[in-house]
Structure 1
Amino acid sequence: MNDSRKPAILVTGGAGYIGSHAVLALLDAGWRVVVIDNLTTGFRWAVPEAATFAEGDIADQALVARLIAEHGIGAIIHFAGSIVVPESVENPLKYYENNTVKSRSLIESAVKGGVRHFIFSSTAATYGIPEQVPITETIRTQPINPYGWSKLMTERMLADTAFAHPLNYCALRYFNVAGADPQGRSGQSTAGATHLIKVAVEAAVGKRSHVSVYGTDYDTPDGTGVRDYIHVSDLARAHVDALGKLIDKPEESYVMNCGYGRGFSVLEVLDAVDRVTNMKIERKLEARRAGDPDALVADNGKILATLPWRPQLDDLDTIVAHALAWERVLAERAAGR
């Protein structure tokens, strides 16, 4: 795209894990970036100085309207929300508030402000227990938890809004996001994270005594759950490419999986951590968690056919190595070094 045509981009949740990597990718590609984040789970230090930062809530329509007007926002990339599946079961109203109600407010602000393009951080949880693996975007969406439903409802709102107003959108359904910026500029920093690779590298640096393996009787080669792990920096670049597509094709909207099309079991991931760290992470075998599918692997044919995006970091040991390097940065910070 011609740089002279580039509008400013409003990134919600840009101080969080995936959002901060998207901000880096946008800045690296020459976009002007404005971040809005209420810092509930994000970190002010995660927002680069080159981006404009506003602390606040996406449901604050006066604030969002001011940011759209002052900065000439042409597109919104929406990451803000709650993401812990078990918590969504325990506290569903929190998830419908943060992920659905506030997204509705943000979409309304976009329409009122004349924003034409919207990229939404969605999830493979919209599929629930998939009818087939690898998972295509055309299979039935039947979430099994409030988190998945809260995201699917937002996808529906975007589809209906795009039909009624001059706005197009791209919903990117993430599979298991892991790793950290290869240059060490950002990484997953939230306390109490539940993602396997994050948990495993925390164990590697001594923050945890072991890694729990939930279930060894799945219908998979080694009995443990299989997931499609995508490097966060590859995922961030997918948003940049999707943005260009929306601007170039203003009449088209898209729903696309973000994954590599290759799955690894829990034990294979832990073996990779052992290789990268040259140590043995203690594993504790525990009972299955309710609702965990045997395997979640993306069919990524649509995104490969639609965008110029191609994975550059699709190697499990590389993903683990980047996550480990970031975990060591966090450990040094905590020690005051």
Structure 2
Amino acid sequence: MAYSDLFSGNMYDFASPFTFSTQLNQIVTNLGVFRVEHHDVNSIALEKITDVKNLVAPEKMPYAQSDWNSAERPEFTNSLYQLKYTNSLNSVSSLDLAQFKARGVVDTADQITLAINDFSDAQYAQVSNTVEVDLVEALLGLRVNSQFAGQGDLDFLAGGSKTTYTMDISADANVFQQLSEIGRIQNVKLGSGLAQAKQGAVILASGKAAVALRYHPSVKDFMVYTLPLESGDNFYTRTKGANPGFETWTLNGVTVIDVTGYSLITDRIGVDSFVSIPLMAPESSAYVLHSGVGVRHATQGKGADLYHQYVIVDQRWGFPEVATECSYLPIVNVPQAIIFGTVSE
């Protein structure tokens, strides 16, 4: 749409806007580590198996009718939790409609639709960023902080310490051997039962740790001499990462993401450090994102969704409002199997 300047008489046309986005890179959300489990209330009881016996049935006499083995049931514990809650609300105003009209949208219904879409996108980004921050804190901080949930701050380590590992990145070191050692440590921490549900691992690395996992002599030689030159796993020729904005590659079945400079991650793992996260089968419930319902509207926001977004209309003035609600609680049941690493030269 062109318009004429009132004083100079010059004609101008609207150009497409350039947007400098500060949107979070939702790495943890995009990895799909957490299985989403929906609930129709925002208070949940989590049942956890605390002890599964490693049972062996001793040999018995075949004809002694009273001589039987018996199996022990697993031991359970129950805990009550309240989901965290966040929301966002925006009202479409006559000013919003005037802005779209100035851009050439003359139909009022179209103006309202565009305003609703803008608020919808902004609210989704706002609320999903909140969830991403808590997922990062749950996975890397091993805790969930809450001001209003009944349980308060939730510490998955229950006062214990994180599992740590120091990787040798000197010229003579073998990176692959140490990756295998990290995998064995994770299997021990998971236990023989849960280890069977392990489906690989992902490493988030920054600074010197990321450089070592890409350019260390033992890694470079392996990639150059044992893989085809155009292989997608060869990071020298890799042209597309799995996560936009971050270099991603695979080493010995382990996915590595370079998060150097991304403070949401590095503030929790360190500048020249890494974290190895075991990827688990969804049915293991190792990582669960519990999702509840909206509470501000009598009927809206009650479905099986993580984000509840709906539009309501002011019956007096006719202007709509866009609302987004989210009730959620991330749970990490294998905190000791997440290994936080540093490097030594």
Q: TM-score range by the shorter chain?
A: under 0.3
Normalised TM-score (structure 2): 0.23
Give the structure with the higher percent helix: 1
Structure (1 or 2) with the larger CA radius of gyration:
2
Question: Which TM-score applies when normalising by structure 1?
Answer: 0.24
